[in-house]
Amino acid sequence: MQALDVLQRYPEIASALEDCSRSKRWWVAVSGGADSVALLHIVKAYLNQIVTGPPDDLTDSAQPGRIKPPSWHTTYKTQSKASLQVTGSVEASKGSQRQFPELVAVHIDHQLQLQSKRWSEAVAAHCATLGIHCEVHKVVVEERGQGLEAAARDARYRLFESLLEEDEALLVAHHLDDQLETFLMRAFRGAGPEGLQAMPAKRVLGKGVVVRALLSVPRRELEPLAESVFPDYIRDPSNLDERFDRGFLRSQIVPLIKQRWPSAAENVGRAVTLLQQEFSALHPESADVSRAKTGEPVCLLPADHSSEEQCRMIRAWLKTWGHYPPSHASLSEFVSQIDRAKNDSIPILSSALYRLKYYDEHVYLCPASDEYMAPIVEQEIALNQPLELPLGRFTLIAEGPGDAGSIRVRSRYPGERFALDPKRPSQPVKRLLKEMGVPPWWRDQVPVFERDGAVIGVLDRLVDISECGADGGLGLVNQIIWRPHSHLE
């Protein structure tokens, strides 16, 4: 069994990879199990066949289902991390250059098995034989009422989200049998139309996207491939642990279903695809993928929509961000609280994995706890150097020679007032921060910057900058750069 054989039989893989081929980087999630090992080799084979051209039997246009040869020429470039990058030029009318993604493997050590360190080393070593750099990251799995299986997934995807930058894709090895298991678990839990769509082929994750290129491929095609290229691939006993819902389905329920209905996975996969297409046709509007100024994903909730329409919008929005929506009863109650809320109240819906908060016509997607909202430790800071604070990374940019004086950062004082514009009178912090788009739960973490005891900036706004370095001998602070954190990372 070879990776090109799988590519030949399932042209949907090439289509999915081509769809995200303009990404700057492909992160391939490699647990070391058969599925992810097979994915890594399939992705590498896809890139190789772009470089060298696929075999003749893959290019015969008279044979349906064959891989169509790409219309560009490519060459490999060696990276400093020994990662693989493909650079290509497309023969376009304007002669534009096309850059192919850098390929990097990522392995997550959940530290739940005694042999997890050995597994990480084996995965990194196998990637090295392919000339692919592998980043190994450890995560701490904390159960907060959602179960160990869900907690591990949550920790894993927080790490993935922290890695993804703009125009980057995470390739994961979910396949046809995983889709069947997901559909069954959601059906048994009473999911609605959104939940029964199971896993989409592509979704947003943080600044990038998650791509599932193997959703049409059954497990039986992937295991022989993994066996042929990496006989010692990882066999995690937790995958069949019947204490977990998916393990119980995989070891007990699904074999019985397939015994009665051998094509169950293919048929459910087709049904899920049809359901996704039908749902998209009925609800063509795209879910909001914007973020608040403070970093949280936000969804505008129009007040003139019915409660049922608002619930549907929130479900679709959560799915876009990769979160399973709360129960119908919980979400309906949350929307009802929004309808009754007064100006100074903040309706909240809590779950084990996240919290929804409503403020100023928007629903915010927030972490399940407030552990990340640590108070600001008053301290002296350096200019032109990044500073990590609860609200993100801040850098005070200064130009010109001379001493900029003592620059410190602190939280606001009770009752403090600011005048960011010398032509306007000072105003209370509450009003000022509302104008700046800061929700109430962040207002005690807003940084105030001082130079020699005088306030020079609040958040990313400078006070009257004409007074900073006005004598020409002091360094001029002329900008505050703020990069908010994605607080679900």
Could you report the per-residue pLDDT of 25-77, keeping only the tens digit for each? 999 999 999 999 999 999 999 988 776 655 544 444 444 433 443 333 233 33
Q: What is the token pair recorded at 66?
A: 């064959």
Distance of alpha carbon 380 from its chain centroid, rounded?
34
pLDDT in tens, 165-174: 988 999 999 9
How many other C-beta atoms can be found within 10 angstroms of the C-beta atom of residue 9?
14
Quick one: CATH architecture of 298-367?
A: Up-down Bundle (1.20)
pTM of the model: 0.64
CA angle 439, 440, 446 (to 5 degrees): 80
Residue type, 12: E
DSSP helix/strand/coil, 56: helix
CA dihedral 249, 255, 259, 263 (to 10 degrees): 70
Between 230 and 470, name the one with better pLDDT: 230
d(CA 252, CA 254): 6
454-458/354-359 β-pairing: unpaired
Between 203 and 216, name the one with better pLDDT: 216
DSSP H/E element including 366: strand 362-367
d(CA 415, CA 413): 6
Domain extents in the chain:
3-282, 298-367, 379-483
Q: What is the token pair recorded at 199?
A: 């896993």
d(CA 117, CA 109): 7
User: What CATH number does domain 3-282 carry, 3.40.50.300, 3.40.50.620, 3.40.50.970, 2.30.110.10?
Assistant: 3.40.50.620
pLDDT in tens, 89-126: 333 334 445 567 899 999 999 988 889 999 999 999 99
CA angle 255, 258, 261 (to 5 degrees): 155
**Pick from 174, 183, 181: which is nearest to 202 by CA?**
174
CA dihedral 185, 357, 354, 203 (to 10 degrees): 70
pLDDT above 60 (res 222): yes
| Residues 181/188, Cβ–Cβ less than 8 Å | no
In the sheet that 476-483 helps form, which strands lie side by side, from edge to edge?
A: 387-389, 392-399, 476-483
